[in-house]
Structure 1
Amino acid sequence: MQALLSFDQAPPFGAPARFFLTAPLFAILAGLLLLWSGPGLFASRWTPEALALTHLITVGFMLQVMLGAMLQILPVVAGANMARPRLLATLVHLAITLGALLLAAGFLGLQPLAFRLAALFLGSGVALFVGSAGHALYGVPPSRATIRGLQISLLGLSVTVALGVLLAIALDGALDLPLPRVTSIHFSWGFVGWGLVLLAAVGFVVVPMFQMTPAYPAWFTHLLPWSALALLSLWSLAEAADWPAPSALLAGALLLITATFAVLTLHLQRRSKRARFDATQHYWRVGMLCTLAACTLWLVARGLPERMAALAERLEWLCGVLLLCGGFMSVIIGMLYKIFPFLVWLHLQNLGGGRVLAPNMNKVIAGQQIKRQMRAHFLALALLLAAVIWPEWFTYPAGIALLVANGALLRNLLAAVAFYRQQRTKIAALIAAATSSDGKPSLTSHPATKAPAP
């Protein structure tokens, strides 16, 4: 697998790192929002506080990490070099950070100006990224499923943001749209067309590489991106036209694809060559189990009669928490604990230029710190699920746990940055010493220098 990667084409370290470091701050804001709003947040999925919380996680946390990961993955995995990556990262990061903050403020204050500015910043930031990524991918043959998935996920992101901009304008009162229906389509494009396709495309590479599993079946890696796009497009048309039967059938097919990805990932994990699971594998396992649980609860909620609407509402809340915090957040954090150390190792290795070997990846973030943060995240997930059912009892503990878990995540990522800066200084000094001693480069032994361990 590593032979397929172009290590020398990675963007500057600070380009993707700024996205990764910003993401936990939005999850911390989500925890603060829970503490500020209290149990009333769970009164309905449509309360301003619930909508703000959802977008702090989706736009503030998920979008930050996913764009940062794509900035790193496109040149390394697909050989698609994005022009001026440092400038691009600066502009996109600033735009989506401001956009996410304004969007949350718009929901909480119901301010039309905040929605308009959020739409402007998010729309322009994502458009700039998609345009640059699309230009980089243009002409790159989709010879591998990962490249094809990256291309389709960019389309899914574009549709998601376009629908989000329309909804923001409608909330401002400038457009008359059937808000529940458009919101449902926006939600589905975000979680399937963008989130699922991108995570699967990345998972096709990182799960076998870092978790030491067999590869995903070739038929599935080719089928998932295109079938998700086709089914999602047809479902959107049926939903927009208010055709209940075709809409329900196509929604079931989308759930089947999602569940199949989860089941296959769990099956591959069982065949891992690792003697003992690390934190990343635990994160993926919990993420896939939560995804399966969310799919099951969604089907149950849809099958309930109208007289049980209150129960259906609670089940849909549980689906949202399972999918967002249990599924996407768990998998994303698990990938961060591999992508970020790999990013550090890669840039240190390139800095050494064959003269000094970079330290082992496992030394970038202490294993015990990762395990503690993982336990804190799982506790926060359990408390959030309990808060959906018993908000009076568990909303405040859930908010505190979310703060602690993501504060620990931020601390771990900052520790990785400190490690990178420290080792960069050491490597530069070793190269200077080796060169001055005999006037020619030589391979220098560095403390704990080994090939990167997955």
Structure 2
Amino acid sequence: MQALLAFENAPPFAAPLRFFLTAPLFAVLAGLLVAVAGPDIFASRWTPDGLAATHLITLGFMLQIMLGALIQILPVVAGANLARPLGIAIVVNIGLSGGVLLLAGGFHFGWPAVLTAAALLLGLTILLYLAVTLRALIGVPSTSPTIRGLKLALGGLAVVVGLGMLLALGLANGWRLPLVALTDLHAAWGLGGWAGVLLAAMAYVVVPMFQLTAGYPARPSWLFPPLMFGALLLWSVAVLVDWPWLVRISQLGVASAGLVFAVLTLRLQLKRRRARADATSRYWQLGLAASIFALLMLSTAAIFPALAELPGWPLVFGILLVLGGFLSFIIGMLYKIVPFLAWLHLQSATQSKTPAPTMNKILGEPAMQRQTKAYVLALLLLVAAAFWPDWLARPAGLAFAIAAGWLWWNLFSAIRRYRWHSADIAAKLAAKLAAA
């Protein structure tokens, strides 16, 4: 089931683009932090540098790209036109970037005042973004699973930011909080209620469009977002009343919903009409394999909680789900969305008087395939480093920084070519006008 797209409502290219070009730089910083910290960062998921690197990825990379993608997709898919999208993009991009740097610095150096400042800056920035997007969505009916998913994802973002602010302020001010339970709930809402639901809502559009698959079946598409939300609400109640058994049932529900979506997407990919796998398909195959494995780990730990205490279990789970799953999906979509948007804006600029370059002329397949191999190598090293940190922590961090930097270079090169073609089209149109 696919939504109708209205590309004439697309915002200026610069609005989402600034998020797409900023995000890989935070992934580079995360990789360098792992390389500098070395084996100590793999000692526990609670190490200061581990928390800093985690938020450089989840906020600096994932959230940047997801907010930028929403600025693009809300008017095109839902007809929800944002007021002054370029101005909002600039303010949110700057506020988010500054807040993430403060948060990572607060964790790394253990500075309570910096953590407080980060929580306030990030909270205000996301509040502004939510106010603008929700205002645009008022009155927009949920006529497709994508629109419903987008609305629920924004609700999930509000919850995860609220929990994040509570945790950051609690750490900074020494509040007595159930930190472990709240942190797990914060992560669950961030990866399930926000990133997971948003990923599904966008996949309903971009997977059939860019990977030439059949559309998602209607019934599972409509059911996935509310089922995920239901499981997360149950998890929240379980934490509130301190019922560990209900937490485990909720975890099993979250994992089951994610597995159904992943298996359904894998089935569509296996039946797709394009025989040759490009970089986007490779990234999605990697993401589906890693996500399925991670969600099976979550399901198993929900049934047998002692497994989650095994050495390396939490780290491997996090690496597979976040870096292997979500980042792979996001990078795969970037490799289609950026050249597609460049082509779309160039085609509009030609005014049908001169041909626009194809997407492959903007971002070539060989460059993407080479970066994909670098990313797979980095992911394998990071998983192995969870078991042999003394030998592999620093090489894994460097490999990840290189793969992320390579991603930035590919995207930057695509934009450079876009600008060159844009100038060339403008010159040709001017020459035709002068000759007329």
After TM superposition, the score normalised by the length of structure 1 is: 0.93
Take 1:298 and 1:145, find their aligned partners in 2: how far apart are those partners? 26
After TM superposition, give the deviation of residue 149 of structure 1 in Å.
0.5
Q: Does the CA contact (< 8 Å) of 2:249 and 2:302 recur in 1? A: no
Tell me what 2:386 maps to: 388
Residue deviations 1:343-392, cap 9 Å, x none? 11111112222323321112211211100100000000000000001101
Q: Does the CA contact (< 8 Å) of 1:181 and 1:240 recur in 2? A: no
Percent of matched pairs sharing the same residue: 50
Take 1:241 and 1:268, find their aligned partners in 2: how far apart are those partners? 40
Q: Does the CA contact (< 8 Å) of 1:298 and 1:316 recur in 2? A: no
**Aligned in 2, Cα 1:95/1:419: closer, same or farther, shift over 3 Å?**
same
Tell me what 2:20 maps to: 20
Written as runs of structure 1 = structure 2, the 5 A alignment for 1:11-410 is: 11-173=11-173, 175-304=175-304, 306=306, 310-311=309-310, 313-410=311-408
**Aligned in 2, Cα 1:150/1:54: closer, same or farther, shift over 3 Å?**
same
Take 1:136 and 1:334, find their aligned partners in 2: how far apart are those partners? 28
Supply the AA of the counterpart residue of 2:416.
A
Residue deviations 1:54-95, cap 9 Å, x none? 111000100011111111111111111100011100100000
**Aligned in 2, Cα 1:247/1:310: closer, same or farther, shift over 3 Å?**
closer
Take 1:341 and 1:67, find their aligned partners in 2: how far apart are those partners? 18
Q: Does the CA contact (< 8 Å) of 1:182 and 1:240 recur in 2? A: no
After TM superposition, give the deviation of residue 17 of structure 1 in Å.
0.6
Take 1:305 and 1:341, find their aligned partners in 2: how far apart are those partners? 45
Supply the AA of the counterpart residue of 1:97.
S
After TM superposition, give the deviation of residue 195 of structure 1 in Å.
0.6
After TM superposition, give the deviation of residue 325 of structure 1 in Å.
0.5
Q: Does the CA contact (< 8 Å) of 1:298 and 1:315 recur in 2? A: no
Residue deviations 1:129-155, cap 9 Å, x none? 111111111111110111111110000
After TM superposition, give the deviation of residue 240 of structure 1 in Å.
2.2
After TM superposition, give the deviation of residue 3 of structure 1 in Å.
8.7
Take 2:300 and 2:232, find their aligned partners in 1: how far apart are those partners? 21
Q: Which moves more between the two structures, 120-129 or 93-102?
A: 120-129
Residue deviations 1:276-298, cap 9 Å, x none? 11110110111011011101222
**Aligned in 2, Cα 1:110/1:15: closer, same or farther, shift over 3 Å?**
same
Take 1:3 and 1:62, find their aligned partners in 2: how far apart are those partners? 24
For structure 1, which runs of at least 5 residues remain unmatched after alignment?
Answer: 439-454
Take 1:99 and 1:159, find their aligned partners in 2: how far apart are those partners? 18
Q: Does the CA contact (< 8 Å) of 2:167 and 2:179 recur in 1? A: yes
Supply the AA of the counterpart residue of 2:357.
P
**Aligned in 2, Cα 1:271/1:309: closer, same or farther, shift over 3 Å?**
closer
Take 1:389 and 1:74, find their aligned partners in 2: how far apart are those partners? 42
Take 2:252 and 2:290, find their aligned partners in 1: how far apart are those partners? 18
User: Is the partner of 1:389 in helix, strand or coil?
Assistant: coil
Residue deviations 1:138-182, cap 9 Å, x none? 111110111111110000011101110111110111633211111
After TM superposition, give the deviation of residue 305 of structure 1 in Å.
6.7
After TM superposition, give the deviation of residue 400 of structure 1 in Å.
1.3
Supply the AA of the counterpart residue of 2:141.
P
Supply the AA of the counterpart residue of 2:431.
A
Q: Which moves more between the two structures, 317-326 or 352-361?
A: 352-361
Tell me what 1:441 maps to: none
**CA RMSD for the aligned pairs?**
1.5
User: Is the partner of 1:404 in helix, strand or coil?
Assistant: helix
Take 2:147 and 2:308, find their aligned partners in 1: how far apart are those partners? 42
Tell me what 1:445 maps to: none
Moved beyond 4 Å, runs of 4+: 302-306
After TM superposition, give the deviation of residue 113 of structure 1 in Å.
1.2
Q: Does the CA contact (< 8 Å) of 1:297 and 1:316 recur in 2? A: no
Q: Which moves more between the two structures, 14-23 or 345-354?
A: 345-354
After TM superposition, give the deviation of residue 304 of structure 1 in Å.
4.7
Take 1:367 and 1:69, find their aligned partners in 2: how far apart are those partners? 22
Supply the AA of the counterpart residue of 2:383.
L
User: Is the partner of 1:354 in helix, strand or coil?
Assistant: coil
Supply the AA of the counterpart residue of 2:413.
A
Take 2:300 and 2:257, find their aligned partners in 1: how far apart are those partners? 18
Q: Does the CA contact (< 8 Å) of 1:301 and 1:315 recur in 2? A: no
After TM superposition, give the deviation of residue 423 of structure 1 in Å.
0.7
Tell me what 1:436 maps to: 434
Q: Does the CA contact (< 8 Å) of 1:301 and 1:316 recur in 2? A: no
For structure 2, which runs of at least 5 residues remain unmatched after alignment?
Answer: none
Take 2:338 and 2:406, find their aligned partners in 1: how far apart are those partners? 15
After TM superposition, give the deviation of residue 10 of structure 1 in Å.
1.2
Supply the AA of the counterpart residue of 1:401.
A
User: Is the partner of 1:172 in helix, strand or coil?
Assistant: helix
Choose the corresponding residue for 2:420, options 400, 419, 422. Answer: 422
Q: Does the CA contact (< 8 Å) of 1:8 and 1:350 recur in 2? A: no
Q: Does the CA contact (< 8 Å) of 1:351 and 1:424 recur in 2? A: yes
Q: Which moves more between the two structures, 186-195 or 352-361?
A: 352-361
Tell me what 1:448 maps to: none
Take 1:75 and 1:303, find their aligned partners in 2: how far apart are those partners? 43
After TM superposition, give the deviation of residue 275 of structure 1 in Å.
1.8
Q: Does the CA contact (< 8 Å) of 2:23 and 2:65 recur in 1? A: yes
Tell me what 1:450 maps to: none
Take 1:295 and 1:408, find their aligned partners in 2: how far apart are those partners? 29
Take 1:4 and 1:156, find their aligned partners in 2: how far apart are those partners? 24
After TM superposition, give the deviation of residue 230 of structure 1 in Å.
1.7
Take 1:101 and 1:40, find their aligned partners in 2: how far apart are those partners? 21
Take 2:281 and 2:48, find their aligned partners in 1: how far apart are those partners? 35
Residue deviations 1:84-121, cap 9 Å, x none? 01110010000000010000001111111111111111
Q: Does the CA contact (< 8 Å) of 2:2 and 2:204 recur in 1? A: no
Q: Does the CA contact (< 8 Å) of 1:157 and 1:193 recur in 2? A: yes
Q: Does the CA contact (< 8 Å) of 2:35 and 2:397 recur in 1? A: yes
